[in-house]
Amino acid sequence: MIQKTTAAITAVSGFLPEDKLTNFDLEKMVDTNDEWIRTRTGISERRILKGEGLATSDMVVPAVKLLCEKRGISPEEIDCLIVATVTPDMVFPATANIACDKVGAKNAFGFDVSAACSGFLYSLTLGASMIESGRYKKVVVCGADKMSAITDYTDRNTCVLFGDAAAAVLLEPNNDGFGIQDSLLKSDGSGVAYLHMKAGGSLRPASIETVTAKQHFAFQDGQPVFKAAVKGMADVSAELLEKNNLTGEDIAWLVPHQANLRIIDATANRMGLSKEKVMINIQKYGNTTAATIPLCLWEWENQLKKGDNIVLAAFGGGFTWGATLVKWGS
């Protein structure tokens, strides 16, 4: 029997800015406190990309360089770079394009995917399909967000949540069945009201008025998003297991988007998974939007075993949500 070509994850990497913003720092900036932030979200600190002229691509570049080093390949061997982000360097051209140039990926084409916190799963599914088609051999999928660029540090509803980071995986063809097995991706544009950036797009181009009204920052109505996220992430993860005839017992790891510890717990419970099987680093990095899932894979890489069934799950602005099943190994 001819084994279908799958897209294996053959390397993982990331980039974390050095500067930390702790809950205690935030206490001095807005009317909040460490206890509220930790109990309501699970976050203790986050990383912030500081420095004049530094953008999302400046986090993508070191992540892609490290990925190539780890795999022992030259950036010139990359066929395609997909960057999932809601904080591109510019509205256009794509951050992926800029990063390809900076990293020396001369033979690659690149494009960005805008799906907020689900951006990495959307991009991973796309990248896997490109590998499965047989047309491409090395696709890099990177989740990267400089959330500090669109965060209002006078708004306690949002500024305690977000951080900056990038993380990436390399996808390559595999004939032993390892890698991306299945994905369920969903979206519901009616969720736009609850999580969005009001201005800077074609609907409301930047003007003195939009700047004065602070419309270039992420806006979130937390509770409706929370409710939709708990249901969306848990439902889609359960649906993915059922579709693949798996139960929580068959799953080695859940890699949830890190937006709120309470959403993560609800998803793990629904899947019947104990806490030891759930990757959680929200306390250190906060919500880094598209970067959270690959950042976890990078951090837990040494604990992953060949053949492990791993469920990646996300929910984010749009609304967008989804879950992906990965068989670890190459």
| Minimum separation from the CB atom of position 179 to ligand UT7 (A) | 26
Q: Which is nearer to ligand UT7, 144 or 170 (CB)?
A: 144
Question: How many residues form the binding site for ligand UT7 (CB under 6 A)?
Answer: 21
CB atoms within 10 A of CB 104: 16
In whole angstroms, what separates CA 297 from the centre of its chain? Answer: 11
| Minimum separation from the CB atom of position 285 to ligand UT7 (A) | 13
| Minimum separation from the CB atom of position 41 to ligand UT7 (A) | 5
- Catalytic residue (one of 97, 100, 287, 296): 287
244 in contact with ligand UT7 (CB under 6 A): no
- Catalytic residue (one of 117, 142, 159, 296): 117
For residue 287, CA distances in Å to 2, 57, 182 come to: 42, 18, 25
Distance CA 302, CA 7 (A): 20
Q: Confirm whether 117 is a catalytic residue.
A: yes
Contact of 147 with 289, CB cutoff 8 Å: yes
| Minimum separation from the CB atom of position 279 to ligand UT7 (A) | 16
Considering only the C-alpha atoms of the chain, give the largest distance between any 2 of them, rounded to a whole number of Å.
64
Residues 132-191 that bind ligand UT7 (CB under 6 A): 156-157, 160
Write the single-letter amino acid at 38: R
H/E run at residue 182: strand 179-187
Q: Which is nearer to ligand UT7, 117 or 149 (CB)?
A: 117
Distance CA 264, CA 94 (A): 31
Answer for which of 178, 226, 298, 328 binds ligand UT7 (CB under 6 A) is 226
Nearest to 117 by CA among 322, 326, 324: 322
229 in contact with ligand UT7 (CB under 6 A): yes
Distance CA 292, CA 281 (A): 9
117 in contact with ligand UT7 (CB under 6 A): yes
Binding residues (CB under 6 A) for ligand UT7: these are: 32, 36-37, 40-41, 117, 156-157, 160, 222-223, 225-226, 229, 259-260, 263, 287, 315-317
